[in-house]
A and B are shown apart, each in its own frame.
Chain A
């Protein structure tokens, strides 16, 4: 076939070019000419017409052959099937609507969920060759890479062959003042090769050079596009200009491109880094010790080297370095984690669970539509048999039925995509703020391609069984058989599908139930303090004016005084850490007389700097000794309050009161006296046991990043934001306020991810149960319709209402029992995949499983109500007459 002919045929198939009408005009002209010819030979008109007819032959085969030539046969049959199929679907609007709706829900939910998974887990990171980028560091308990030290990374750089470049990063929170407006910026300090390693160049100006990355030179910055627009009006002459942060001058060397996605190893609440400066370390400096592990390590693996090989080499290097510096490195290993895994972290498990759950919903939808198709097949059996008699092959009929399935799935997909687009915002609103790459979630070409594939797969899943069955059943002899004669097989197929529905629904119900109990357990976990009615506002005191600790302490005292004077405020305290903001300040805890032979092995305890009112305001019980007072000034003997678990870990059963402790360095620095023991507090994740803690007074260990905690017994804490801000503005307008939240909000955030999973699972489970109930209703009510005559006979012979009831229930109850039993087994296997998401409840919790089974059974019995009513209303006389 030439290209020209192919195009002509394609045009023909799609209905352009010469049509059937033209052919029939042409043929009738031909017929007329033949007729005239016969008449000229002396035949009478009727005989001439007959003879002409005989000469020409039947129109239908001519037209058929002509049509075969006109179009592409496969395309043609498809177009025909689609036309025919849509006619058939329009003829049964109830069935079509039910199927479309079911599919729209199934496909829509999958489309929405996939768009989230695609954006967060699948889409390549926006850097060149992202598969070679890794996070690298000592391995944490969950296998992720944690912090590393500067000197360590320099050694790696020298020794590794497998890795092309190592970059380092640390969080930084400078305060930028422009036009008298102070803003604390989320920023990071990075090694000079950071951007080169990622393969991203600034849009304006230049990147960092090795020369920038030295202790005396590091005050140069790169701005994010957003910051440049927000604070500098997108001024192109910004490069080379000087900006002031923390009272120091920084030279802007460049602006990053608009689409640049920074590596947010440290997430700053809801935002990512907006400014970059070099680390500016040198060997021998304060922060370059091998044990000072406070940098995040990233690397680009050399082309052609596998991550496994890189990991083997890095661990060998670690062993080597441990032999060389036995006191600096503990036993352990190095994690080389693909960058995407490092960024998406534990969200991965949650998303995969949800994707599986939403897949179950689609399977249920498929089972239901297959059931609907089977039920409808009764009414179509004669039609299909007729087509078979007229010469349609079995393959042809199967193809016709599959085309109808595809039509249904396609319609469902269109509605589903609209549904997904509408619900995406709701899903995003439910999502925890920690979900990375959230902003990329959208229904785009990739998602649509997925949906298209899913649609075809779906139509095959629900279409194949009925199509195969009906294709077989449409053998010509069926025409003679009463359609009611052969329902056994179909009922069995329907029963299997309904049981599958129930099993899947029960799995989802059990999963949702476990997450519900998990969230309850998390919410009920006592954080160790009472967050009620407390407002937290962060602020920072940096720059020349606060270079001396005494200036910071003086500001703190003035702030405390004025805040306490605000109407409605009952108590105020200042602390170095936001509760539930985690803690990055872990220091060696060296207790006199209890130090390990090598003090390096002493525990690392988290430090919190507070003012005296802290425990009272937070409602943290004091267990022994005293807390801080106004008398614990900078000049007084340094004191320390420790948490219960610190006391237990270091002193066992002995009283720590009066003990002397050095913090950080075992040989230098003041000895601090332990004056009190307080109860443990959760500072991060409610599901982890509280970490040991120690507290220092702000007067003796002064933080410059602080949080004001304000409590009011009478006012909604949110109403205090404005007056508190006003106090700070009156004290010093250049002090930035940020991260304003109430403590209940902060506590709730810690279970956000589990709540997200719980809510979506609950929604999916509800849909699943609903669909399963509909499927069951269809089968039971179909069964009743089938047995109308039987019921009629029984009633005529004297059966009572309860006999009819038993008859109807018997069939359904068997299905429900089978579904629930198999569902329990399946759920027991499936809930294991919830893994670490489950907390405070066993993945096989009998109560949850029992409740799920009861709930499903009740709903399933509910699906019997309408069919039972119909059965009870059967009039024996009418039922018998109808035969």
Chain B
């Protein structure tokens, strides 16, 4: 996968999962983490990340508050809420199922003559 635009739904899921695994993070931290786990394949457009964070917050899946960063700067930290965690679980399951279906469908195609 090259540096690609991220599907909106998948970005939401990735942000939720990131916050689930690492706990409260600021926007920079989230972007770094996604870059890291994707072996630099996911270079996030910040014009996508920040609106996504706001959207998740508006839906009540994440909460945010100002805090102090590791280098002693004011930064906004995002954390998963209880509904966010439920949402993550639901979406992750959906995604797994969908990924399984896709794998089967694509695998089946390989079998065809």
Given A30-B27, A30-B46, A33-B28: A65 and B51 within 8 A (CB)? yes
Q: Does A796 contact B (CB under 8 A)?
A: no
Q: Does A36 contact B (CB under 8 A)?
A: yes
Asked whether B47 lies within 8 Å of A18 as measured between CB atoms, the reply is no
Q: Which of B71-79, B91-99, B100-108 contacts A (4 or more CB under 8 A)?
A: B71-79
Q: Which residues of B contact A8 (CB under 8 A)?
A: 57-58
Q: Does B36 contact A (CB under 8 A)?
A: no
- Chain B, interface SS category: helix
Asked whether B28 lies within 8 Å of A65 as measured between CB atoms, the reply is no
Least CB distance from B59 to A in Å reads: 5
Question: Chain B 33-46, CB within 8 Å of chain A: the 1/0 string?
Answer: 00000000000011
Given A26-B75, A30-B28, A56-B46: A5 and B55 within 8 A (CB)? yes
Q: Which residues in chain A, 444-475, are within 8 Å of chain B measured between CB atoms?
A: none
Q: Which residues of B contact A32 (CB under 8 A)?
A: 71, 73
Which of A4, A27, A33, A34 lies in contact with B60, CB distance below 8 A? A4
Q: Which residues of A contact B69 (CB under 8 A)?
A: 29, 33
Least CB distance from A38 to B in Å reads: 13
Q: In whole angstroms, what is the CA distance A70 to B53 when docked? A: 11
Q: Which residues of B contact A68 (CB under 8 A)?
A: 51
Q: Does A25 contact B (CB under 8 A)?
A: yes
Q: Does A180 contact B (CB under 8 A)?
A: no
Which of B46, B55, B58 lies in contact with A62, CB distance below 8 A? B46
Given A4-B60, A29-B69: A34 and B28 within 8 A (CB)? yes
Least CB distance from B57 to A in Å reads: 8
Asked whether A65 lies within 8 Å of B73 as measured between CB atoms, the reply is no
Q: Does A22 contact B (CB under 8 A)?
A: yes
Asked whether B60 lies within 8 Å of A62 as measured between CB atoms, the reply is no
Which of A9, A26, A66 lies in contact with B76, CB distance below 8 A? A26
Given A29-B74, A30-B28, A32-B73: A4 and B46 within 8 A (CB)? no
Q: Does B10 contact A (CB under 8 A)?
A: no
Q: Which residue of A lies closest to B48 (CB)?
A: A65
Asked whether B58 lies within 8 Å of A26 as measured between CB atoms, the reply is no
Asked whether A29 lies within 8 Å of B73 as measured between CB atoms, the reply is yes
Question: Chain A 406-434, CB within 8 Å of chain B: the 1/0 string?
Answer: 00000000000000000000000000000
Q: In whole angstroms, what is the CA distance A30 to B57 when docked? A: 19
Q: Which residues of B contact A882 (CB under 8 A)?
A: none
Question: Chain A 32-61, CB within 8 Å of chain B: the 1/0 string?
Answer: 111010000000000000000000110001
Q: Which residues of A contact B26 (CB under 8 A)?
A: 26, 29-30
Least CB distance from B35 to A in Å reads: 10
Asked whether A57 lies within 8 Å of B58 as measured between CB atoms, the reply is no
Least CB distance from B86 to A in Å reads: 14
Q: Does A379 contact B (CB under 8 A)?
A: no
Q: In whole angstroms, what is the CA distance A4 to B84 when docked? A: 14
Q: In whole angstroms, what is the CA distance A70 to B55 when docked? A: 8
Asked whether B28 lies within 8 Å of A29 as measured between CB atoms, the reply is yes
Q: Does B54 contact A (CB under 8 A)?
A: yes
Given A57-B46, A61-B47, A62-B47: A4 and B58 within 8 A (CB)? yes
Q: Which residues of B contact A33 (CB under 8 A)?
A: 28, 69, 71
Asked whether B76 lies within 8 Å of A70 as measured between CB atoms, the reply is no
Q: Which residue of A lies closest to B54 (CB)?
A: A69
Q: In whole angstroms, what is the CA distance A649 to B28 when docked? A: 108
Q: Which residues of A contact B73 (CB under 8 A)?
A: 29, 32
Q: Which residues of B contact A691 (CB under 8 A)?
A: none
Least CB distance from A477 to B in Å reads: 31
Q: Does A89 contact B (CB under 8 A)?
A: no
Least CB distance from B21 to A in Å reads: 20
Asked whether A66 lies within 8 Å of B51 as measured between CB atoms, the reply is yes
Q: Which residues in chain A, 65-106, are within 8 Å of chain B measured between CB atoms?
A: 65-66, 68-70
Q: Does A679 contact B (CB under 8 A)?
A: no
Q: Which residues of B contact A56 (CB under 8 A)?
A: 46
Q: In whole angstroms, what is the CA distance A116 to B51 when docked? A: 54
Q: Which residue of B lies closest to A62 (CB)?
A: B47
Among A2, A22, A69, A70, residue most surrounded by chain B Cβ atoms (within 10 Å):
A69
Q: Which residues of A contact B54 (CB under 8 A)?
A: 18, 66, 69-70
Q: Does A23 contact B (CB under 8 A)?
A: yes
Asked whether B71 lies within 8 Å of A5 as measured between CB atoms, the reply is no
Given A29-B69, A30-B46, A65-B50: A4 and B27 within 8 A (CB)? no
Asked whether B58 lies within 8 Å of A66 as measured between CB atoms, the reply is no
Q: Which residues of B contact A30 (CB under 8 A)?
A: 26-28, 31, 46
Least CB distance from B48 to A in Å reads: 7
Least CB distance from A3 to B in Å reads: 11
Which of A9, A18, A26, A61 lies in contact with B27, CB distance below 8 A? A26
Q: Which residues of A contact B51 (CB under 8 A)?
A: 65-66, 68-69
Q: Which residues of A contact B76 (CB under 8 A)?
A: 22, 25-26, 29
Q: Which residues of A contact B60 (CB under 8 A)?
A: 4
Among A23, A33, A64, residue most surrounded by chain B Cβ atoms (within 10 Å):
A33
Question: Chain A 106-125, CB within 8 Å of chain B: the 1/0 string?
Answer: 00000000000000000000
Q: Which residues in chain B, 3-53, are within 8 Å of chain A measured between CB atoms?
A: 26-28, 31, 45-48, 50-51
Least CB distance from A26 to B in Å reads: 5
Least CB distance from B108 to A in Å reads: 37
Q: Which residues of A contact B58 (CB under 8 A)?
A: 4-5, 8-9, 69
Q: Which residue of A lies closest to B83 (CB)?
A: A4
Q: Which residue of A lies closest to B64 (CB)?
A: A18
Q: Which residues of A contact B57 (CB under 8 A)?
A: 8
Q: Which residues of A contact B50 (CB under 8 A)?
A: 23, 26-27, 62, 65-66
Which of A2, A23, A61, A66 lies in contact with B59, CB distance below 8 A? A2
Please, could you name 14 A-B residue pairs with CB atoms under 8 Å apart, sorted by A? Answer: A4-B59, A4-B60, A5-B55, A8-B58, A9-B58, A18-B54, A29-B26, A30-B46, A33-B28, A33-B71, A57-B45, A57-B46, A65-B47, A66-B54
The 6 A-B residue pairs with the shortest CB-CB distance, nearest first, are A69-B51, A8-B58, A33-B28, A62-B47, A65-B47, A5-B58
What 5 new A-B contacts, CB under 8 Å, besides A4-B58, A23-B50? A30-B27, A30-B46, A36-B71, A57-B47, A64-B47
